[in-house]
């Protein structure tokens, strides 16, 4: 049922893109130039409807998922070596993924040339607001005076700070905090279901965005989609190469057998656009590969909250591509801050297709990048989602195998064969 729903939504988005392109092209060729801003305005209202529904769920989603993700670590002292080694891998891999996305989007510049700011007419204000973002402003935006005020204003960084303190405090309380953690976990699941409902308004946003953009820019919008997908694939390929090199350094000749074991989970994640859909089979294959059950059962669930390599690279790439499309320049300090925000706000969303777009919308709004730009990338996002979901599976499998190797808990292939023979 869920799979059919996702396929229908993808079909609706494609149909909306085609209709928007047709309407926009007719307007581009035959509508008087003085009337085009009216069409753009109507398209922007359609996009705004979708966008406001997305913004409605940002604050509670970030608060619940991040708080629960940290609280589920348990007593931080008792996590010990395994948790520390796993988190070292997760943080390093996240930073590497974010920087690869940032590097490739600067190299390929997929959003350059669209000049969407010209259509909206307010790019000057946007650029001015972005340039005013300084270290002093960052500190002012870091700690909330009130979490209620932060949620009302969608101040994502302030919500992240509060969620981190709340998550650590709940972890410190141990058993007494379980009812609160369970309640927040249930609420986060409900909000993630809301994400699915909200995404059904995406075709409306896509139709309005594509029609308005095509009316102003003509068929050049499809050049943007081609460049966007091509350079995203380059970024994913570089990340895979980096993961393979690190994996070979740690696992040696055991790397190839690991990849053979996870081929089926990779294919399932690619086709369903959900890395969480393969969790049971991935657990089984890692144990067959030789990882101890106690490590798999600890590191793998943790990885699904903290080790989202494919999603990380996508969020950096998408945010900066939207900024390029609107002609917005962000200085290096602001871009580094954006990476930090993305790394924190992305936790706990691995299993939900297109949930990363909610994070992108929140981050764009924080840095004065028009968040309606997410409607522009929605038509291509399904294909990117297939690649990033498969990448999440590879990253989590590698991290689990690496921690097993570091702990001396990775079984020898000969021993595995002997156990298989006895079982037979």
pLDDT digits 0-9 by tens, 262-288 = 888 888 778 666 666 677 678 888 888
Q: Give the whole-angstrom CA distance, residue 363 versus residue 369.
A: 8
Q: What is the pLDDT of residue 126?
A: 35
Predicted model pTM = 0.69
CB 365 within 8 A of CB 218: no
SS3 291: strand
Q: What is the pLDDT of residue 236?
A: 94
Own/partner pairs, 217-223, CB within 8 angstroms, 24+ separation: 217/28, 217/114, 217/115, 217/119, 218/25, 218/28, 219/25, 220/113, 220/114, 221/21, 221/24, 221/114, 222/21, 223/113
Q: Give the whole-angstrom CA distance, residue 225 versus residue 14.
A: 13
Q: Give the whole-angstrom CA distance, residue 2 versus residue 272.
A: 10
Q: What is the pLDDT of residue 331?
A: 83
Those residues with Cβ within 8 angstroms of residue 25's Cβ, 6 or more apart along the chain or in another chain: 214, 218, 219
Q: What is the pLDDT of residue 121?
A: 41
Q: Give the whole-angstrom CA distance, residue 338 versus residue 141.
A: 13
CB 278 within 8 A of CB 303: no
Q: What is the pLDDT of residue 123?
A: 36
Sign of the CA dihedral running 89, 353, 378, 63:
negative
CATH class of the domain whose range is 2-411: mainly alpha
Ranges of the chain with pLDDT below 70: 1-7, 69, 73-81, 115-142, 156-157, 271-277, 280, 305, 345-356, 413-424
Q: What is the pLDDT of residue 350?
A: 47
Partners of 410 in the β-ladder:
291
DSSP code per residue over 348-380:
T-TTSTTHHHHHHHHHHHHTT--TTHHHHHHHH
Please tell me the chain's helix, strand, coil percentages from 3-state DSSP, rounded to the nearest 5: 85, 0, 15
| Rg of the Cα atoms in the chain | 22
SS3 321: helix
Sign of the CA dihedral running 312, 375, 194, 338:
positive
Q: What is the pLDDT of residue 179?
A: 92
Residues 52-62: tens digit of each pLDDT = 887 788 778 77
């Amino acid at each position: 049922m869920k799979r059919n729903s996702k396929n229908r939504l993808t079909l609706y988005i494609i149909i909306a893109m085609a209709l928007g392109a047709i309407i926009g092209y007719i307007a581009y060729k035959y509508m008087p130039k003085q009337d085009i801003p009216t069409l753009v305005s109507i398209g922007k209202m359609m996009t705004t409807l979708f966008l406001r529904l997305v913004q409605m769920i940002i604050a509670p989603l970030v608060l619940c998922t991040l708080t629960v993700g940290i609280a589920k670590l348990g007593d931080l002292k008792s996590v010990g070596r395994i948790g520390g080694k796993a988190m070292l891998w997760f943080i390093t891999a996240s930073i590497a993924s974010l920087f690869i996305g940032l590097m490739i989007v600067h190299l390929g510049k997929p959003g350059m040339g669209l000049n969407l700011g010209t259509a909206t007419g307010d790019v000057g204000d946007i650029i001015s607001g972005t340039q005013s973002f300084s270290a002093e402003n960052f500190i002012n935006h870091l700690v909330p005076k009130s979490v209620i005020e932060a949620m009302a204003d969608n101040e994502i960084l302030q919500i992240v700070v509060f969620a981190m303190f709340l998550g650590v405090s709940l972890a410190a309380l141990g058993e007494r905090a379980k009812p609160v953690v369970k309640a927040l976990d249930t609420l986060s699941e409900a909000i993630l279901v809301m994400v699915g409902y909200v995404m059904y308004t995406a075709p409306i946003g896509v139709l309005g965005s594509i029609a308005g953009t095509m009316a102003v820019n003509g068929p050049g919008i499809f050049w943007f989609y081609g460049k966007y997908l091509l350079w995203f694939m380059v970024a994913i390929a570089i990340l895979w190469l980096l993961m393979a090199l690190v994996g070979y350094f740690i696992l040696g000749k055991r790397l190839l057998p690991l990849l053979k074991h996870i081929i089926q989970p990779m294919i399932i994640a690619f086709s369903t656009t959900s890395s969480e859909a393969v969790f049971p089979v991935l657990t089984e294959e890692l144990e067959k590969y030789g990882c101890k059950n106690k490590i798999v059962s600890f590191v793998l669930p943790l990885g699904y909250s903290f080790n989202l390599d494919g999603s990380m690279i996508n969020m950096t790439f998408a945010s900066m591509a939207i900024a390029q499309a609107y002609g917005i320049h962000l200085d290096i300090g602001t871009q580094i801050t954006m990476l930090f925000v993305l790394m924190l706000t992305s936790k706990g969303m691995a299993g939900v297709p297109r949930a990363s777009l909610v994070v992108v919308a929140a981050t764009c709004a924080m840095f004065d990048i028009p968040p309606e730009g997410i409607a522009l990338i929605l038509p291509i996002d399904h294909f990117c989602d297939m690649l990033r979901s498969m990448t999440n599976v590879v990253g989590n499998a590698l991290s689990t195998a690496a921690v097993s190797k570091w702990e001396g808990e990775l079984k020898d292939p000969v021993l595995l064969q002997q156990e298989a023979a006895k079982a037979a």
